[in-house]
Every structure is written in C-alpha cells, then in structure tokens.
Amino acid sequence: MDGHQRLKRASIMFTFVVLHLVQAQDQQGFISLDCGLEPNQSPYLEPATNLSFSSDHDFIQTGKRGKIAKGLSYEYKQYNALRYFPEGKRHCYNLSVKQDISYLIRAGFAYGNYDGKNIYPSFDIYIGPNWWATVYDDRKDFEIIHMAKSNSLQICLVQTGPTTPFISTLELRPLRNDSYSTQSGSLQLVYRHFYISNLDVRYPDDVYDRLWYSNSWFGNDAEINTTHTVNSSNAFVVPQVIARSAAISGNASEPLYFFESTDNPSDNIIIYLHFAEIQDLQANDTREFDIVWNENITNSAYTPKKLEIDTIFNTSPGKCDDQTCYMQLVRTRKSTLPPLLNAYEVYKVMELPHSETHPGDGESDGVALDWESRLRIVIETAQGLEYLHNGCQPPMIHRDVKTTNILLDEHLQAKLADFGLSRSFPIGVESHVSTNVAGTPGYLDPEYYRTNWLTEKSDVYSLGIVLLEMITDRPVIQQTREKPHIGEWVGLMLTKGDIESIMDPNLKGEYDSSSVWKALELAMSCVNPSSAGRPNMSQVVSELKECLIYENSRKEGRSDMDSKSSLELSTSFTAEVTPDAR
C-alpha cells in the first residue's frame, strides 16, 4: 500500500470517527434499547436514523428473546427482535434518569407473529405503578412526555389475559422543561401531524426524535413550502423540513380545519399549533385569522411570525365534543390571505398519581395525594393480602410486598402484583415454612431474614413499611438520616414527640389527627421485630378501615368518635430491623 492509499484510508477512518462522535454527542441523554438484542452484541447504528441502539439486557432480568417471523420486516431494525415474558404477571425495566427533567418516553411493539400463533397479544404498560396504556395491535408505538420525579424510572409490562406481553424497543429522549409543560400530569401523544405528502420525520431531522406523520387528508387544502431557513429555535424546536412547509385553505374564503378523535369524551386535551409565515408577502398582504376549538375562539386575530416558528397551545386542558377535537382557523375580515398551519400535536393529559417507582410518594406532578386516597390504597392492598392468607387453598404468602408491586389504575384503585416469590404454607400445627430468604431489602421481615422461617406475619411487616411510606413520603432506606431505615427513623421521631417531622408536608395538615395516630400505631405494630408482636392481616384491614372512618368523619364535619386502638404502640427497634441484601 503506497503512501497516498494509506493517507486516503486514514482520512476515511478519521471522517467515520468524527461523524460517529458527532452523532453520539447529538444523542446525549438518549436511551435507545433494542429489546431482545443479544446481550454480547455491540451497540449498532440504526441505518435509517443513525440512532445508536443497544441491548436491553442490563435493564431487566426476566423474559426471553425472540424474533419476528421469517419473511417479515419493519422499517426500523429495532423492531425485528423482541423480548417476551411467558412467566409471571409483571416485568419492569429499571432506567436511570435525571430528576426534574422531562422525557419523551416511547415504547414500541411489533408482534410479527414471533410465536407462530398469529394472535395479537393484549396487555398493559405501566410507568411504575401507574397505568399508561393497553397494547392490542400488531405494530404500535406509545409515546408519553413525563417529568422524572426521581433518578430512577420503571417501565412495566403487565399481563391482563391469556396472551403473553412483549416489547420491541424502549426509547427515552430528554426534552427542554420549558416546552411541553403542564399545570399537572403527563402528556400522552394522540396525534402529531404536519403537511407534506408522503413523508414521515424523526431523528436526525428532529433533534428530540419525535415521530411526525404526514396528514394524508388535505380536503381542499393546498401545500406550500419555502427554501428559506425558518427560525425554529423556540422551546419546541420544530424540525426545519416541517417549518419550511405548511397547509393553507384552498379556498381563501373558507376555514382551514382539522379534526382528530380521542378515546374518551372525558379526556383532557392539550393541542399545540405550530405556525410560521413562509410566503413572501406583498406590502398590502395580510394574513390574520381566529383559532377556533369546538366553536369557541381561543385566539383571535392571530398573525404568524415571518420565517419564525410560533407555538400556540391551551394552557388549561380542554375536552373534545363527542370524542372529536375539531379545530378551525378562520380568516378575519381584515385578512387578504387564507389561514396557514405548519404542524400540530394533540396530547391527552394523564394524571399519574404516584412516582415512577412506587405509590407512596405524596406529591405527583405538583398534585398531592390526600390522606383518604392513601388510606384506600393501603386498605385495598391489605384486603388482597388477607385473601391470600385466609381465602386461598392452600394459603399463600406474597413475600415481596412493596410499593412498586402495588399497581394503580386511573381511578387510583390498587391491585397487588408480582407473585413470582409467593409461597404456600400449611394449615394446622405448623405456623411457618422454612425457605431460603427472598424479598426486597428494607421491606424484608428481619425475623424471616434471621431464621429462614416464613410466616404470614412476614407480609404484615412489609405492609407496615408501605404504610409508613404513605404517611411520611420518605424512602425506605436513606443513609443520610440519623436512622437510615424508615421504621427506625419513625420510632426515633416518636420518642422525641416530633410528629410534625414524620408527616408528609404535602398533606399540609389536611387529615384527621386520630386517623393519623391510629395509622402510625398500626404501622409500628406491623414492623415489630418479633412476629408475635404483630397483628394478623385481618386485624390490619379492620384497623385501617377505622382510620378511614375517622378521616371521612373529619371531611363530613363530624368529630363524635373516640380514637381507641386495640394495638399497642411499639417503638422498640434494633439493628436487626434492616437486614442486608443477600
């Protein structure tokens, strides 16, 4: 090889390395998982987008790898493999994120008849304990814009019927916090459209890798475009290819309109409209129009900015008549030109009442969960455990009761999940099962940890920890506290008489003191280091219901009840409360 050839090869290699570094830099903060990719396979650049995808192996410990049926293929490489979950009900990806940063979260599903059954699965996806969506089709993407409330995030797949959950790709993209901001809640994508025929747009044209689809139905509308650069540097950073195109009414006297359907008439909707004047206007030309949503003018006499994207949206969520969002841009009398629209996005506001990792957090998206709601969640969980202990034949012990295993629907109804560690126990003389220790540190019964004897009281201990989380809105283990374990810490605060420090400040004192005291007494009895000092689950349910009665009486303006606890408050704690993980 002569010097010229070596120099040329070195130049090509240098160019490749530089391009790869630039692409990696552009994708800073991106998480792009090809679910089912071999764990020993190196990350790859997806050919259509140059996005770097890696295996999901390090983010989940369950499931099996699969591939779509031979002869099938999808546009993007990450949809050709998948991870499916034939065993267990709930499976969660654990992701590291940055607290207080908004993320576009996209979960992609391509069934591709991987199992040869040719039956589209149906199952649910959750963000932590919060229901997100139901998967029901061959090929579907779900997007939600969600602000992380901690440094960890769980995306979970939950079996709801006879079919097997699966996932093809999981993608997270950090966004600017001043873009898709809401008074409360997260934003689930309904539609994201623009006006160029037969073209879809994503990364690298969109720096946030949003998926933009062409609105294939124009009616009498006309497509216009420009070769000028359009300033799209506002918080939403609309891709340049979209900013340079727009739709206008084909008839200058008629409105420009679009309509999109929603799943439920009660859905709270936010619509983002992106405008830029991209035509060269004459001195006597004027483009001015009213923005009308379901026959109500939301913005009057609006004029797009010259070669600059301007984004208009409703700060308060609205509803769509008969499940149809009908938006019109109506020319004013002053205007000489028809209305114009570059692109639009429709989102449904979803109130995720708890944090991404457990339902104990007292504040979610700026909205505090009240004391009554917290009590109901613990009651419903305790009732589920009571059924396992007393209603099943043979009786069952869950063994992994924790807040991340309590799932909530959109009505805050709780359902206990993940029975992968559950064990049956005999009825009769023997009150325990000898078994290897399994469970989650912090929630794990110290007596069970020490003796390997598993009893129904082990679930009682774990539920007591959950109740303390609901009361305090504090992590189970926090090394910076004087007492790292939540049970020890609450016990210390009680001996000091410092009740105010125990209570979640997000409650703002809105609770019945008798109800809270009774709940604290119950929680401390449940986390007694000795199982003999703990109540059974039936007693727990009964005591919790009394707590709820006190709180409801406060709300109804009654105070004719006396707080009487049948349980003795225990504040005796030792180091054995917090066994190390094995």
| Rg, the chain, Cα only | 28
Please return the burial class of 573, using the count of CB atoms within 10 Å of its CB with bins 0-12, 13-18 and 19+.
Answer: buried
Short-list 21, 82, 28, CA closest to 55:
82
Q: What does DSSP say about strands 343-350 and 186-194: parallel, antiparallel, or unpaired?
A: antiparallel
User: Residues 206, 221, 400, 459: which is the catalytic one?
Assistant: 400
First to last CA, the chain: 59
| Tokens matching residue 403 | 């807040």
Residues 6+ apart with CB under 8 A from 62: 85, 87, 88, 91
Short-list 188, 322, 350, 338, CA closest to 259:
322
User: Is the Cα torsion angle 390, 391, 392, 394 positive or negative in sign?
Assistant: positive
Scanning 225-304, the segments in alpha helix (DSSP H) are 240-243
What does each C-alpha distance from 389 to 99, 263, 423, 428 come to in angstroms?
38, 39, 11, 13
d(CA 57, CA 37): 8
The amino acid at residue 535 is P
Scanning 322-398, the segments in alpha helix (DSSP H) are 371-386
Neighbours of 144 (CB within 10 A): 21
Clarify whether 400 is annotated catalytic.
Answer: yes
Residues forming the active site: 400
